[in-house]
Amino acid sequence: MNINTPIHTIYGYFNEKFGTEWKVVAESLTAHFPEAIEATLMPGVADVDMPTFFLKKDQAHAVLQNLKDVLGFNFLTDYTATDEELEPRFHLVIHLMSLSTKCRVRIKIKLADQEKMPTLISLWEGANWAEREIYDMFGIHFEGHPDLRRILMDMRWEGHPLRKDYPLRGYQVFLTPEPLDPELLK
Amino acid sequence: MSDSNSKNFRTDSPLDIARWGNPSSDDALLKRDNDDIFEDSKVLVNIGPTHPAMHGAFRCMAKLNGEIIEKSYCEFGYTHRGKEKLGENRTYHQFVVYTDRLNYCSALINNVTYAMSVERLMGIEVPERAVWIRMMCAELARVIDHLICVGINAVDLGAFSYFLYGYHQREKAYTLIEKLCGARLTTSYTRIGGLMSDAPDGWERELKEWIKETRDVVDEMDRLLTENRIWMKRTKGVAIMNREDCIKYSFTGPNARAAGLDVDLRRDQPSMFYDKVDFDVPVAQTGDVFDRYYVRMEEIRQSLNILTQCADRIKKGPIWADDKRTRIPEKDRVYNTMEGLIHHFKFFMSGFDVPKGEAYTPFEAANGELGFYIVSKGGPTAHRMRIRGPSFWHYQGLDPMIRGEYIADLVAALGSINVIAGELDR
């Protein structure tokens, strides 16, 4: 038994409900951006619960703009990353929802270590803190981000905790409170 | 004479617009009287991390022009416990207790959502009675969360007795939860594929009595506060977040519904048996503090309706899914047979394997969309355990929400979006 077995109604998703819409989205994206999409994983075929599109980094912004404005996926549900311990190392994971149909898709962008990603704040302002969190936890830099500081950890912290090579135990103790940056209120 | 602090400052009357400009534009709001000798005197105010008005350990720095907030920025992370890292290093069974500490006002909803997301990855379907109990848990937790949100919001603005009405009912609800699982706050009630224990006999009857009482109490609270003139003046038109801004900042739950963003995952993406019960989704239009308060009050009533229907329809039956992988062995077998002991030992020491796959499972928690994004590469621990808490996104919207408002309204705005530190910091 795995996720390919029919998904039961008590978990809130139905292949039957969104199956056709997912196909339409996948066909539309592959027709408009044949070069931008590296791979497409569809539920029922791969081990995913919603269609997952792997995008190339330099064309990700255009595809997301299309998804937002044309296909109606205008709600950024979640924006995070995973450390795959492979080459390329990181996957950025973006979950989008359509407010009219409540249909969801997942976007993934592969990034090598030290590779920078252009920011998505121009599409969704809410991406601001999400990108700060990804920077804090994974050390991925975002080009064009206005305020790329650590968000959960202390400013003086060393290392990025959600990387797989980060140790599980160990302390960094700061005896003085976190300094305030007066520039932030200018 | 300066009267920039009077309420006239931001009315829409033509006289005031001629004097100070259109109050809807940010610059005009900050425009000062020419006679004001304190013009452009900026004050930095630090609120938190430990301040009674902040509801948890987070901090807000505000730059004030007179009494008006020109700019602010928020800092948090004081209760960061690395839950996502723990999720990658604990077995799926061990992680249940960590979910209690996300939104600690409604721990049961976190338990239920987490159990659902792992079961979805494994393809397990839990029996009907367990689903009804889980639904009742979720709605009970939602009532508690909303009661504390509206109560504390009112305390911050000076209505203390109102809060005690809700708190009394909340304590009784905790007693009901204690009868279910032995704990009041950190419940850890669900297990993957079932529940920790069955609801005791007569629990539904006690629940129905509580529902009846709570209905009266909520009506009484409504009569006490909603039409109160001081309350209306402090909340109406304050800290507005309109529909477009809600989409920009990914607002969900009651805060989005207060601004007319009509999304409720219980209705739109029904999980469990939400498509079999009858309830309404309250939606307001303005998106100010009052609307957020009133949407929550109405949601309490709707949750009580759902609870009544669940209590009527629940039947006796098993509470564990018929799946050997996740079922915790019976104590009788563990203590009396060798195989049972081995099973017990293996279950708790090495955990069960979850097949390869990834799933994002959202559920309408009390504050908004709570989602678990679990990536499994096989094996007993997750490869990535992402928790999408609604408070993270709501807290981000606080700065644009309070820009141009009075410093006193910061407290009202923060209480109304109900940011919970445990869910924010994770």
Q: Is the pLDDT of residue A3 over 80?
A: no
What is residue A14's predicted lDDT score, i.e. its pLDDT?
Answer: 59
What is residue A1's predicted lDDT score, i.e. its pLDDT?
Answer: 44
Q: Is B35 on the interface with A (CB under 8 A)?
A: no
What is residue B15's predicted lDDT score, i.e. its pLDDT?
Answer: 55
Q: What tokens does A97 get? A: 């929802």
B76: chain A residues, CB-CB within 8 Å: 151-152
CATH assignment, A9-185: 3.30.460.80
What values do phi and psi take at B289, rounded to 5?
A: -60, -40
Q: What is the pLDDT of residues B166-214, one digit of tens each?
A: 888 999 999 999 998 888 888 989 999 889 888 898 898 999 999 999 9
Total length of chain A: 186
% of chain B residues with pLDDT over 70:
90
Domain ranges of chain A: 9-185
Q: What is the pLDDT of residues A10-61, one digit of tens each?
A: 455 556 677 778 888 888 888 888 888 888 888 777 788 888 899 988 888 8
- Of A2, A11, A106, nearest to B116 by CB-CB distance is A11
Instruction: Give which of B198, B160, B144 is closest to B318, Cα–Cα.
Output: B198
Give the separation between CA B307 and CA B132, rounded to whole angstroms: 10
Average pLDDT over residues A129-149: 90
Instruction: Give which of B211, B261, B354, B27 is closest to A1, Cα–Cα.
Output: B354
Higher pLDDT: B381 or A147? It is B381
- Of A102, A125, A185, nearest to B61 by CB-CB distance is A185
Of all residues in chain B, the one with the smallest CA distance to A78 is B388
Instruction: Give which of B250, B253, B318, B331 is closest to B292, Cα–Cα.
Output: B253
Q: Is B114 on the interface with A (CB under 8 A)?
A: no
What is residue A2's predicted lDDT score, i.e. its pLDDT?
Answer: 47
The sign of the CA dihedral B228, B230, B236, B238 is negative
Q: What is the pLDDT of residues B323-337, one digit of tens each?
A: 888 888 888 889 999
What is residue B9's predicted lDDT score, i.e. its pLDDT?
Answer: 46
Contact A76 B383 (CB under 8 A): no
Q: Is the pLDDT of residue B40 over 90?
A: no
Contact between residue A75 and residue A103 where contact means Cβ atoms under 8 Å apart = no
Average pLDDT over residues A117-129: 89
Return residues 369-408 of B near A (CB < 8 Å): 369, 371, 373, 375, 383-384, 386, 388, 392-393, 396-397
Give the separation between CA B404 and CA A31, rounded to whole angstroms: 46
- Of A106, A168, A184, nearest to B73 by CB-CB distance is A184
Contact A77 B371 (CB under 8 A): yes
What is residue B6's predicted lDDT score, i.e. its pLDDT?
Answer: 40
Q: Is the pLDDT of residue B290 over 80?
A: yes
Q: Is the pLDDT of residue B57 over 90?
A: no
Q: In order of start, what are the domains of chain B with their CATH numbers?
A: 7-75 (no CATH), 93-425 (1.10.645.10)
Q: Is A95 on the interface with B (CB under 8 A)?
A: yes
Instruction: Give which of A82, A149, A8 is closest to B358, Cα–Cα.
Output: A82
Give the separation between CA A178 and CA A176, rounded to whole angstroms: 7
What is residue B39's predicted lDDT score, i.e. its pLDDT?
Answer: 57
Annotate A12-24 with DSSP letters as a single string: T--HHHHHHHHHH
What is residue B30's predicted lDDT score, i.e. its pLDDT?
Answer: 55
Contact between residue A106 and residue A51 where contact means Cβ atoms under 8 Å apart = yes
What is residue A9's predicted lDDT score, i.e. its pLDDT?
Answer: 44
- Of B119, B272, B373, nearest to A78 by CB-CB distance is B373
Contact B125 A10 (CB under 8 A): yes
Q: Is the pLDDT of residue B233 over 80?
A: yes
Give the separation between CA B187 and CA B353, rounded to whole angstroms: 25
Instruction: Give which of B239, B213, B218 is closest to B157, Cα–Cα.
Output: B239
Instruction: Supply the mean pLDDT for chain B.
Output: 85
Of all residues in chain B, the one with the smallest CA distance to A149 is B75
Contact A152 B386 (CB under 8 A): no
Reported for B334-340, long-range contacts at CB under 8 A and 24+ positions apart, including other chains, are: none
What is residue B307's predicted lDDT score, i.e. its pLDDT?
Answer: 92
Counting Cβ atoms within 10 Å, is residue B367 exposed (0-12), middle (13-18) or buried (19+)? Answer: buried
Higher pLDDT: B315 or B27? It is B315
What values do phi and psi take at A97, rounded to 5?
A: -130, 145
Lowest mean pLDDT across A114-123, B47-56, B79-88: B47-56
What is residue B1's predicted lDDT score, i.e. its pLDDT?
Answer: 38
Average pLDDT over residues A155-184: 81
Q: What is the pLDDT of residues A79-122, one digit of tens each?
A: 999 998 888 889 999 999 988 888 888 999 999 888 888 998 98
Contact B249 A125 (CB under 8 A): yes
Which candidate in B396, B419, B423 is best for mutational testing of the A interface (most A CBs within 10 A)?
B396
Q: What is the pLDDT of residues B3-29, one digit of tens each?
A: 444 433 445 556 555 555 555 555 555
Average pLDDT over residues A121-130: 90
What is residue B73's predicted lDDT score, i.e. its pLDDT?
Answer: 83
Q: Which residues contact B284 (CB under 8 A, 6 or more apart)?
A: B257, B258, B259, B260, B291, B292, B294, B295
Q: Is A107 on the interface with B (CB under 8 A)?
A: no
Of all residues in chain B, the one with the smallest CA distance to A103 is B269
Q: Is B75 on the interface with A (CB under 8 A)?
A: yes
